[in-house]
Amino acid sequence: MSKTERWGVYEVALEGPRDGNPFLDVEVTADFSYKHRSVTVDGFYDGDGVYRLRFSPDTVGEWSYVTNSNVPELDGKRGTFACVQPHDGNHGPVNVAKQYHFAYADGTPYWQMGTTCYAWNHQGDDLEEQTLQTLAKAPFNKMRMCVFPKSYDYNRNEPEHYPFEGSLEHGFDFTRPNPVSFRHLEQRVQDLQKLGIQADLILFHSYDRWGFADMGEEADDRYLKYVVARLAAFSNIWWSFANEYDLMENKTMQDWDRFFKIVQENDPYQRLRSIHNCRGFYDHGKPWVTHCSIQRPNLDQVAEWRKTYGKPVVVDECCYEGNIDHGWGNITAQEMSHRFWEGTIHGGYVGHGETYCHPEDTLWWSKGGVLHGESPERIAFLVKIMEEGPHGLDHFKLNWDAPCLGQHGEYYLLYFGIKQPAFKKLALPEDGEFTVEIIDTWNMTITKLDGEYSGEIRVDLPAKQYIAVRIRRV
């Protein structure tokens, strides 16, 4: 009996019709069963007469399956496989936990520290492999990336593969996905998975010269179902319905609602779902949205967004460390690091991006490659701080002017940002003893103060920017 580990991918490949248009004419599903449970997954045509069905089991034990199809060659096929315990690094998919946070399926906390490389998977093997090598040494555990190629400043090259059959000169047939392109995409998703990185897959965007942003309602819906059938089984997939959805003027709010429902109804695993804005927010309170994906530079509003929507807040775009002409792409490393800390301390999660000028226009934000900035090292330092604390921290103010991420009576993390206080008076519980540490977030140093503290205390500070204080019960 074949074996697949828990949260891995079991695949059934079948030979079937090649005639006509198999993408339109042939339907195939499979029911995967374990004891009293049954999960239905959609199959997809992978070209060359091959149809695939992918399933990710979440329970250890013996599973069976049977296929259903409108063509005899694919109907009634049966089989069994054993789901075994996962390897040490496989914690399963990421889900919302404790309302405002994330955790893997096995309960391991997940601290979202994402980055953006919109079109890295459309750059050819050499540059893509370089990007993966960079990610292997970077602190990021999520990658925002597009299904479709991108046409924008610093990203004018043609992709090696198009997602549909056809050409730029003669147009594309939106009834025929290009299996070569999608095989390449799923390979890159798996490459990220091996590095422990979530693939935040952007399904639509407006930066287009090929017609993929305006395929029409029927083609959009077919495309979504095809992507879900191919990719949903990979446990590191997140669905991001758009980059800057409100710039796609040919799509209505009803379209976006429909897209969410299509993916929700066709995804057996209910992977995380979000949508990214330019100007105005989509209503993240809608039931099919799992978490907020926000573009804004003002991270002090994270607590308000969290309160408004009652869901995790991820500021996926807060501007980029770099030196290009665009105002959104030339903040300093200090400012990027500061925004990470500010968004974190207000109870959210923040995304990184980098846009340093390059003679061949190889900017990390668009094409990947290598990182040149100074913020990733500081972000890694923040990740370490967060991983050392309790999971599921609350946002509150320890004093009226001291935003804090903590757990009342046990743990407090304060950040003073660009302020330069000489000291801070704080009220701690009197029924315990606490240690106090001064954290220089830019220089990445932690200085523990002598002694233990309780009740009303005064903490002398170095009167400089980017200082944090960590207080922990002994």
Q: How far apart are CA 315 and CA 334, in angstroms?
A: 17
How would residue 114 be classed by pLDDT, with cut points 50, 70 and 90? very high
pLDDT of 401 higher than 90? no
Q: Would you state the pLDDT for residue 247?
A: 98
Which of 125-129, 418-422, 435-439 is predicted with the least confidence, judged by mean pLDDT?
418-422
Strands 44-45 and 50-55, bridge-based pairing:
antiparallel
Q: Would you state the pLDDT for residue 121?
A: 98
Would you say 123 and 134 are in contact if contact means Cβ atoms under 8 Å apart?
no
pLDDT in tens, 180-224: 999 999 999 999 999 999 999 999 999 999 999 999 999 999 999
Extract the runs of DSSP E, i.e. beta strands, from 26-60. Answer: 28-34, 37-42, 44-45, 50-55
Query: 338: phi > 0 → left, psi -120 to 50 → alpha, else beta; which?
Result: alpha
Q: Would you state the pLDDT for residue 431?
A: 94
For the domain bounded by 3-84, which CATH number is listed?
A: 2.60.40.10
pLDDT of 400 higher than 80? no
Contacts by residues 37-44 (CB-CB < 8 Å, ≥ 24 positions apart): 39/268, 40/268, 41/229, 41/232, 41/233, 41/268, 42/225, 42/228, 42/229, 42/266, 43/12, 43/14, 43/67, 43/69, 43/74, 43/229, 44/226, 44/229, 44/230
389-399: average pLDDT: 92
What is the rounded average pLDDT for all residues in the chain? 97
pLDDT of 177 higher than 90? yes
Within this chain, domains 3-84 and 394-473 share the same CATH topology? yes
pLDDT of 397 higher than 90? no
How would residue 130 be classed by pLDDT, with cut points 50, 70 and 90? very high
312-334: average pLDDT: 98
**DSSP 8-state assignment for residue 393:** P
324-350: average pLDDT: 97
Burial, 135: exposed, middle or buried (Cβ in 10 Å; 0-12, 13-18, 19+)?
Answer: buried
Would you say 159 and 208 are in contact if contact means Cβ atoms under 8 Å apart?
no
**Domain with residues 94-387, CATH architecture:** Alpha-Beta Barrel (3.20)
Q: Whole-model pTM above 0.95?
A: yes
CATH class of domain segment(s) 394-473:
mainly beta
Q: How far apart are CA 166 and CA 172, in angstroms?
A: 4
User: For 425, how many CA atoms within 13 A lie in the half-sphere containing its CB?
Assistant: 2
Q: Would you state the pLDDT for residue 69?
A: 98
Q: Would you state the pLDDT for residue 255?
A: 98
Q: Would you state the pLDDT for residue 349?
A: 98
pLDDT in tens, 259-299: 999 999 999 999 999 999 999 999 999 999 999 999 999 99
pLDDT in tens, 59-85: 999 999 999 999 999 999 999 999 999
127-152: average pLDDT: 98
Instruction: For CA atoms 137, 140, 142, 147, give the dihedral sign.
Output: negative
pLDDT of 399 higher than 90? no
For the chain, the structural domain boundaries read 3-84, 94-387, 394-473
Q: What is the largest CA-CA distance in the chain?
A: 79
